[in-house]
Chains A and B, each alone.
Chain A
Amino acid sequence: MKEQGYTGSIFRIGVGAGFAGDRLEPAVELAGRGELDALVFEILAERTIALAQRRRRAGSGPGFDERLAERVGAVLAPMMERRAVIITNGGAADPRGGGLAVHAAARRLGLAGCRVMVVTGDDVAARIDPDSCTILETGEPLADYRERLISANVYLGAGALIEALRLAPDVIVAGRTTDAALFLAPLRYAFGWAADDWERLAAGSVVGHLLECAGQLTGGYFADGERKLVPNLARLGFPYADVQADGSAILAKLPGSGGRLDRATCTEQLLYEVDDPASYLTPDVTVDFRGVRLEEVGPDRVRVSGAQGRPPPETLKASLGLDGGFVGTGQISYAGPGCLARARLAAEIIRERWAVIYGREPAALRADLIGLTSCTPWAGLEAPEGASPPEVRLRLAVQSFERQVAVDLAREIEALYTNGPAGGGGVETTVRDSVILRSTLVPREIVRTEVEVLE
């Protein structure tokens, strides 16, 4: 990969992390014996960048993923030995800071020749025009939220990463890109796919889409312990794809690793985040998933082909981080006969005090009964008729732009110990900052990407 002009007939790309909190050792296994050409760490969730931006502004931590250098450092030596590339979006709100951290880690490992490329340009906070932007989720003008706008990052496509790939990188550190672009870029570069070769771009995007959540393709987030059985989840192996020049690929995992990879796991992963399977929008290509074929071609091996592509939308999607103030939560458990009534009484007490003592709107308090209603679409305190659980846990939550409001709720729940219903226990409370993510569309012209080489 490092040399210009990849000449193999199959390009092997693996995934080392599917989210910021992912396990470490599956990437080490892939890098060590996976014979990879590229390894991707997808560790930037939608809200991560806004949280990182806020952390950076407050000076309370780095603007890049805190485990970035640890992850890259754990696989760097075998990847460099193979002249294979590592690509990550873990630069988050500060790709340059992330790149420097990786560079420093490489030196500590004695890998002084490591070439780290930093891709910037996704941060459009200074270029976005709030007066011409509409918030997609609500239809409101962004101008109404000018004061609360913390971050604005465009989802970059494969193009910006390809600029970095031309410069013989060992590691590419980017911020906001589409997840699929992290995979599509090295495929496009290796096989020389044109930027308007819609069918191959769609095929590469499907490969990326399948790999991007790592263990979710190989049986993670799939098992039910009864009917959907997955062997050895404690040692779940992450997937890789052997991609051919036509974009078709065989998905696989390392022999001996835990998990399973078959039509069922691939179907869940392919479609679970797709609104319209006929029209999956990315900055590189609009993908039609409907003709995708998934064929089991061996144990834990699935062949994927058949994606169709069309030109992408004219505009780019940008992710907006808006200040959401503070969120306070608290929980308390009750057990035994009548526990449900006592949990409800506790909620009533707090609601009454919220109105009488604090002069606030009790309807702003969200209440759930954990074990009965907290994971249903309606939540609330209305348990199914006749419910008589052995125990129940009341949870209350509130959002406010005044931190004190969140603190007050936490304190009120704690005070239920000696002032509330009988037998309450196990109180836990939290007060945290909140960043709300929204999206908008921006013209492609306002995005200017750059690649910086750290060596």
Chain B
Amino acid sequence: MSEWVQLGDKAHCRFGDKGDTGLFVVVPYEAGDFEALAATLTPERVGQHLGGLPAEWVTCRPCPGLGAIVIAVRSSLGGGVTASLALDAHGKTLSGYLLGMRVLLERQKISLHQR
């Protein structure tokens, strides 16, 4: 069973910046969505959503214990908050932008843990 959803319907997000690296934490509202979201949030797809960034710049790290997915995006902030000419130089608003991503959630009968 699979369904297309907007990420923001299934998870919330906060963004942080470290130098020129953008950092997102994506937290599913329902613990049961964690594995499906962790599987669908790949560097390729996240990079694509963020304006076509190369997958090599993106790292997605699921933290099953905390029920959250940590995403780091290198070289994505126009040189960082102090160098960027953007209106939102931190990139703080990107948390909302990421939540607009369309993702395909695939439910599996056997969870990844049990496999």
Contacts and interface: CB of A to CB of B under 8 A. Distances in A.
Contact of A221 (B14, B81, B97): B14
A267 B25 contact: yes
Nearest to A373: B87
B81 A47 contact: yes
A341 B85 CA distance: 23
A437 B82 contact: yes
Contact of A375 (B18, B24, B29, B94): B94
B25 A272 contact: yes
Nearest to B27: A267
B12 A264 contact: yes
Contacts of B5: none
Given A47-B81, A435-B82, A374 B87 contact: yes
Interface string A125-146: 0000000000011000000000
B65 A290 contact: yes
Given A273-B23, A277-B70, A377-B51, A137 B80 contact: yes
B72 A275 contact: yes
A136 B12 contact: no
Given A137-B20, A268-B12, A436 B25 contact: no
Contact of A271 (B21, B29, B68, B76): B68
Contact of B83 (A227, A271, A324): A324
Contact of B65 (A293, A329, A375): A293
Interface in A248-298: 264, 267-278, 289-294
Interface string A302-332: 0000000000000000000000100101000
A153 interface: no
Contact of A370 (B61, B68, B80, B87): B87
A50 B81 CA distance: 13
B54 interface: no
B82 A324 contact: yes
B21 A275 contact: yes
Contact of B82 (A47, A270, A293, A395): A47
Contact of A368 (B24, B79, B86): B86
Contact of A290 (B14, B27, B66, B96): B66
A375 B63 contact: no
A377 B19 contact: no
A292 B65 contact: yes
Nearest to A224: B12
A267 B68 contact: yes
Contacts of B16: 272-274
B53 interface: yes
A267 B87 CA distance: 28
Nearest to A380: B51
Given A375-B97, A377-B97, A438 B19 contact: yes
A368 B15 contact: no
B82 A374 contact: no
A270 B94 CA distance: 18
Contacts of B80: 137, 436-437
Interface string B9-44: 000111110111101110101000000000000000
B63 A273 contact: no
A350 interface: no
A429 interface: no
14 contacts: A137-B20, A222-B12, A267-B68, A268-B13, A274-B70, A276-B70, A290-B66, A292-B66, A294-B66, A324-B83, A327-B85, A375-B94, A434-B82, A437-B80
Interface of A: 46-47, 50, 136-137, 221-222, 224, 227-228, 264, 267-278, 289-294, 324, 327, 329, 366, 368, 370, 374-379, 395, 397-399, 434-439
Interface of B: 12-16, 18-21, 23-25, 27, 29, 50-51, 53, 59, 61, 63, 65-68, 70, 72, 76, 79-83, 85-88, 93-94, 96-97
